Amino acid sequence: MSESAGKVFDAKSFKRVLAYSRPYTGIVVLTLISTCVFAAIAPATPKLTKYALDYGVQGGHYKRLLLMSGLLLVFLFVRSLIQFFNTYYTNLLGQNIIKDMRLALYSHILKLRLQFFDNTPIGLLVTRVNSDIETIADVFSEGLILMMNQMLTVLVIIAWMIWEDWRLALFSLSVFPVLLFATYLFQKATRTSFQEVRTQVAKLNGFVQEHITGMSVVQIFNREDMELEKFKQINNDHKIANVKSIWYYSIFFPVVDILSSVSIALIVWWGGRGILYNSVSFGTVTEFIIYINMLFVPIRQLSDRFNTLQMGVVSSERIFKVFDTQTIIKDEGKIESAKVEGDIAFENVWFAYNNENWVLRDVSFTVKPGQTLAIVGATGAGKSSMINLLGRFYEFQKGNILVDGKDIRDYKIDTLRKNIAIVLQDVFLFSDTIANNISLYNKYVTPAQIKHAAEAIGADTFIESLPNKYDYNVMERGAMLSVGQRQLVSFIRAYVQNPGILVLDEATSSIDTETERLIQHAIEKLTEHRTSIIIAHRLATIQKADKILVLDHGQVVEEGTHQELLRKNGFYKRLYEIQFEKEQRQRA
């Protein structure tokens, strides 16, 4: 996901962007027609002005002057009307395309493995989904079609100028080689600056996203001043990148204006000379001055439009890098709409997050339906990795994992995960109501089921005490609830799912004693007639488990019940004694 300098113009990326316009062929055709018509009638204004001056004013015919003025007004109105439709439909096209692209991108991100998010800054993805997508909209509303409009207008005007008076046309257009060279230098200079601007936007978004999310750590450790200094540097880099592009614009536009003035001066000189010798009419000179003004405006804008197009292509390259990221769990299973019994078997499973740095080594165990399995071990032993493999959030490299005697890869992913409810230590709640955080917008979960689950868990008392009860908005990450309350909400969420397999990953390690009693009650209800896997550091919470696995450096070193493991006088007993002594000291 690195930021690269990119090409001047990536035709492949541009073609992929254009593919999103296929559903809107009607709008594309309409804008192209209006673009051609707009360019075709562009010379009408200077031409009518010439006739008004030559045949109306100089000819002394008031009615002709009135007629030409009326026609001029009609053409201006028609041009304005065409311009309105062109602007509206190009923007409509752009908005439809980015709507579809954003939807497709977010849908793709939802399918990516968790490992992708481990290695990719969240701020970078936010930039891709938001600001980079918006830049692509400009390709259609301010870039591609307007470029075609302006290029056609330039060609039509030049053709009319040559047809009208080729000598005067050559004189007035003699500055064009200089203009083309200046445009080339401008585009070459701005290409690099635009790349840097997009890079700095991504860095700024990433920093703000991460540090606002972790604001509690910043304030707890008194890091406000240091973080502000880091932000100042990133913000200043962002400013410098933008100032560079502004610098190039501030040079280029005056150069274009100077060349335009030179061109008009040449018309006045050569045309005035022609008027004196009666070889050129006054109306023709005026017509050419209008032509030049009409010519240099789109030429100046063409460079800007090209840069808009280029920025859109740069953004599209970065977006398609996300699209082309194939760290997707392959969903090739055939089993769907199944209700699992909860028979789990790991057979010689090996797993590594990176290469062959094995996190799990030849792990084997079985859990029968309705049994409770506890997994203990030091931090980094591989406990949570086993759960990630069971839900296919990561893929193992060797061995087999079976659920009800079938390979987990034979299940459709959504079917497998519907049958597994996981309660994590770090509960994530969305900025929404308690009810929606429990149901997660599952239309099959009714308010009555939510209330029943809360009562069963024993959490209805605290929910009923809130201002809006189940409609209480917990705000971002559940900030309006205590740690214990957030944990209870996650238990209700698991309960209403009615899973065949329940996983508790350190679910009782961050709560107070009173809430722990509620959760112990909830665990008893949740684990009843259901296969349960409990990961815990506190061994006192798993003594009733049917089986306990002891992991050390990714290997199963011991297996048995609480009493059996104590009698073995091995790794588990040492862990138990260390915790028991620690609790005794805390009570003392």
* pLDDT mean over 505-529: 67
Please tell me which residue, 302 or 567, carries the higher pLDDT value. 567
- The owner of tokens 């000819």 is 59
Amino acid of residue 216: S
Whether residue 267 is predicted with pLDDT greater than 60 in this model: the reply is yes
Q: What is the largest CA-CA distance in the chain?
A: 121
Amino acid of residue 23: P
Whether residue 285 is predicted with pLDDT greater than 60 in this model: the reply is yes
User: Do the domains spanning 11-323 and 344-587 agree at the CATH topology level?
Assistant: no
- 368: CB partners within 8 A, 6+ apart: 343, 531
**For the chain, counts of helices (H) and of strands (E):** 22, 10
Task: Give the span between the Cα atoms of 461 and 463, in whole angstroms.
Answer: 6
What is the distance in angstroms between the CA of the first residue and the CA of the last residue of the chain? Answer: 54
Mean pLDDT of the chain: 78
- The owner of tokens 């205590």 is 482
Please report the pLDDT score of residue 277 as a whole number: 74
- Domain locations in the chain? 11-323, 344-587
Amino acid of residue 136: I
Please report the pLDDT score of residue 78 as a whole number: 84
Q: Where are the alpha helices (DSSP H) in 112-165?
A: 114-119, 122-127, 133-138, 144-164
- Cα of 409 vs its chain's centroid, Å: 29
Task: Give the span between the Cα atoms of 523 and 502, in whole angstroms.
Answer: 10
Task: Give the span between the Cα atoms of 588 and 578, in whole angstroms.
Answer: 16
Whether residue 235 is predicted with pLDDT greater than 60 in this model: the reply is yes
What are phi and psi for residue 79, nearest 5 degrees? -60, -45
* pLDDT mean over 481-504: 81
In 394-536, at which residue ranges do the beta strands (DSSP E only) sit? 398-403, 406-407, 420-424, 501-505, 531-535
Please report the pLDDT score of residue 56 as a whole number: 67
Q: How confident is the model at residue 59 (pLDDT cuts 50, 70, 90)?
A: low
Whether residue 403 is predicted with pLDDT greater than 50 in this model: the reply is yes
Q: What's this model's pTM, rounded to 2 decimal places? A: 0.67
pLDDT tens digits, 353-376: 777 778 888 888 888 888 888 888
- 6: CB partners within 8 A, 6+ apart: 195, 313, 314, 317
* Paired tokens of 53: 């001056």
Partner residues linked to 345 by β-bridges = 366, 402
Please tell me which residue, 365 or 329, carries the higher pLDDT value. 365
Task: Give the span between the Cα atoms of 342 and 420, in whole angstroms.
Answer: 9
Tell how strand 547-552 and strand 555-560 pair up: antiparallel
pLDDT tens digits, 422-477: 887 777 777 788 888 888 777 778 888 888 888 877 777 788 888 888 788 877 76
Please report the pLDDT score of residue 422 as a whole number: 82
Task: Give the span between the Cα atoms of 271 and 290, in whole angstroms.
Answer: 13
Please report the pLDDT score of residue 372 as a whole number: 86
Domain at 344-587: CATH code: 3.40.50.300
Whether residue 489 is predicted with pLDDT greater than 50 in this model: the reply is yes
* pLDDT mean over 391-417: 86
What are phi and psi for residue 96, nearest 5 degrees? -65, -40
* pLDDT mean over 180-193: 75
Q: Is the CB of residue 133 less than 8 Å from the CB of residue 98?
A: yes
Angle in degrees, CA 323, 145, 253, rounded to 5 = 105
Q: Which of 310, 328, 319, 324 is nearest to 101 (CA)?
A: 319
* pLDDT mean over 132-152: 74
Please report the pLDDT score of residue 515 as a whole number: 62
Task: Give the span between the Cα atoms of 148 and 76, in whole angstroms.
Answer: 21
Please tell me which residue, 253 or 539, carries the higher pLDDT value. 253
- 510: CB partners within 8 A, 6+ apart: 425, 426, 483, 487
Helix, strand, or coil (residue 103): helix
Whether residue 213 is predicted with pLDDT greater than 70 in this model: the reply is no
Q: Is 349 exposed, middle or buried (0-12, 13-18, 19+ CB in 10 A)?
A: buried
Please report the pLDDT score of residue 96 as a whole number: 86
* Paired tokens of 326: 């194939």
Please report the pLDDT score of residue 488 as a whole number: 81
Please tell me which residue, 193 or 237, carries the higher pLDDT value. 237
Whether residue 89 is predicted with pLDDT greater than 50 in this model: the reply is yes
What are phi and psi for residue 376, nearest 5 degrees? -125, 160
- 147: CB partners within 8 A, 6+ apart: 302, 305, 306, 309
Q: How confident is the model at residue 163 (pLDDT cuts 50, 70, 90)?
A: confident
Please report the pLDDT score of residue 34 as a whole number: 82
pLDDT tens digits, 1-25: 444 444 545 667 777 877 888 888 8
Domain 11-323 has CATH 3.10.580.10: no
Please report the pLDDT score of residue 218 as a whole number: 67
Whether residue 103 is predicted with pLDDT greater than 50 in this model: the reply is yes
Task: Give the span between the Cα atoms of 285 and 96, in whole angstroms.
Answer: 45
